[in-house]
Amino acid sequence: MTHLEERLAERGLKLLKKEAINGSHAGRIYRIEAVDEENQKANLVYKEYETDRNNELHLYLKYSDLIKQFNKVVTVWDSRPKAILMHDLNSPLKKDFELRSGSDKRNLIERILDRLAVLHSLSVGKNANGLPTHETTSDWHEWCVDQMNRLCEQNHWTKTEWIKTINNAYEQLDLKNFQQQCPRVITHGDPHLENIFLKDGQIWLIDWEWAALSSPLRDITILCQDLYDTRLIQFVKESYQKVLHNNDFHIPSEEYQRDFNYFYIDHTTMMLAWEIEKYLQEYTSEEKIKEIIEFKIREINRVTNELGVS
Ligand SMILES: Nc1ncnc2c1ncn2[C@@H]1O[C@H](COP(=O)(O)OP(=O)(O)O)[C@@H](O)[C@H]1O
Ligand SMILES: [Mg+2]
């Protein structure tokens, strides 16, 4: 019997099918089909961690009451190989997001924002004592410049102004010394559309590796990273301010705007670096990476200019 078969057997489950979910993941992830003693089928996902990368597992153990409100976790194994078993939530929202109509996209975004507002409104003391605090640093900036340089070495189509735009934004905004303005809340830390699902009429969030105390705008600007439409990004920005207000979470507009803009630039830079990584690992086509870079650089420029300091 394999580890997985033994582990399922402990829970009265028999493995029928196992299929790897391929991609550049933090561990080995399998979609599995199993049956219980009453012959009821269960569709599950098993995520096994690399030995040096299991922060997520510790969060699942320590903050299980919190996370189980947002992800359908079945069980967690702290012994080797460390792993979690979850219900299969079907496809992440990223899969067909671009095929949806404008109003459909906005409806879906509103549902995600409502769900994030629930997380952001939870009491830190009751739910997340000891959760680390996220601070903006120069890490994403440095990583992105390194990635841009790697890209330049290999491709003639790169533009030197890309790095200039990023450097200019960080310098003008003094981003590495930025202090968040909004109150510290529990943030998921990585709610892009590959980590968000709609199942049984509810929004679910997986991949809690980066959960930390931070500004609510930390999450909102990560969500924006899968949107390639400036109007939709503006819609997110405006909608979430209203959602917080409706949840009796009142943040002065100036503080909200400031956190949004700064976190948005930092996360757009981070995501640029990650997108370049996926291109270098051949998960993305040349045509696609060019579109991604052009859009994100335009966005960094737009927001830096809006702040009136470039
Ligand atoms: N519970 C789940 N249901 C359906 N798909 C899942 C589930 N967990 C993971 N996946 C799939 O595996 C991918 C990677 O899982 P994730 O936990 O986000 O790992 P990583 O840290 O590598 O991003 C997800 O984007 C999704 O496609
Ligand atoms: Mg993920």
Q: Whose CA is nearest to atom 23 of ligand 1?
A: 25
Mean pLDDT of 207-220: 98
Q: Which amino acid is present at 256?
A: Y
Mean pLDDT of 232-249: 97
Ligand at shortest distance from the CA of 194: 1
Q: Evaluate if residue 26 carries a pLDDT over 80.
A: no
In this prediction, residue 155 carries a pLDDT of: 87
Ligand at shortest distance from the CA of 206: 1
Mean pLDDT of 48-64: 92
Give, as one character, the DSSP assignment of residue 144: H
Q: Evaluate if residue 309 carries a pLDDT over 70.
A: no
Mean pLDDT of 61-86: 96
In this prediction, residue 66 carries a pLDDT of: 97
In this prediction, residue 273 carries a pLDDT of: 98
Q: Evaluate if residue 259 carries a pLDDT over 90.
A: yes
What atom in ligand 1 is closest to the CA of residue 90? Answer: 4
Mean pLDDT of 93-99: 97
Mean pLDDT of 96-106: 97
Task: List residues near ligand 1 (CB under 6 A).
Answer: 21, 25-26, 29, 45, 47, 86, 88-89, 92, 194-195, 206-207, 209
In this prediction, residue 310 carries a pLDDT of: 43
> In this structure, are residues 306 and 265 in contact, taking their beta carbons and an 8 Å threshold?
no
Q: Ligand 1: distance of its center to the CA of 182 in Å?
A: 30
Q: Which residue has the higher pLDDT, 24 or 207?
A: 207
Q: Ligand 2: distance of its center to the CA of 206 in Å?
A: 7
H/E element holding 270? Answer: helix 253-280
In this prediction, residue 135 carries a pLDDT of: 87
CA distance 224 to 246: 21
Q: Which residue has the higher pLDDT, 176 or 268?
A: 268
CA distance 264 to 257: 10
What atom in ligand 1 is closest to the CA of residue 25? Answer: 22
CA distance 43 to 13: 11
Tokens 């929202």 correspond to 93
Mean pLDDT of 155-182: 94
User: Is this prediction's pTM over 0.85?
Assistant: yes
Of the residues 18, 19, 22, 25, which should be mutated to test ligand 1's pocket, given the most ligand atoms within 8 Å of the CB? Answer: 25
Q: In a 10 Å sphere around its CB, with 0-12 CB exposed, 13-18 middle and 19+ buried, how is residue 60 labelled?
A: buried
Closest alpha carbon to 195 in 53, 4, 77, 56: 56
CA distance 155 to 284: 15
Q: Evaluate if residue 179 carries a pLDDT over 90.
A: yes
CA distance 66 to 128: 8
Q: Evaluate if residue 212 carries a pLDDT over 70.
A: yes
Mean pLDDT of the chain: 95
Q: What percent of the chain has pLDDT over 90?
A: 93
Domains assigned to the chain: 3-87 (3.30.200.20), 94-306 (3.90.1200.10)
Q: Return the minimum-mean-pLDDT range out of 15-19, 31-35, 155-159, 184-188.
A: 155-159
Confidence of residue 265 (pLDDT cuts 50, 70, 90): very high
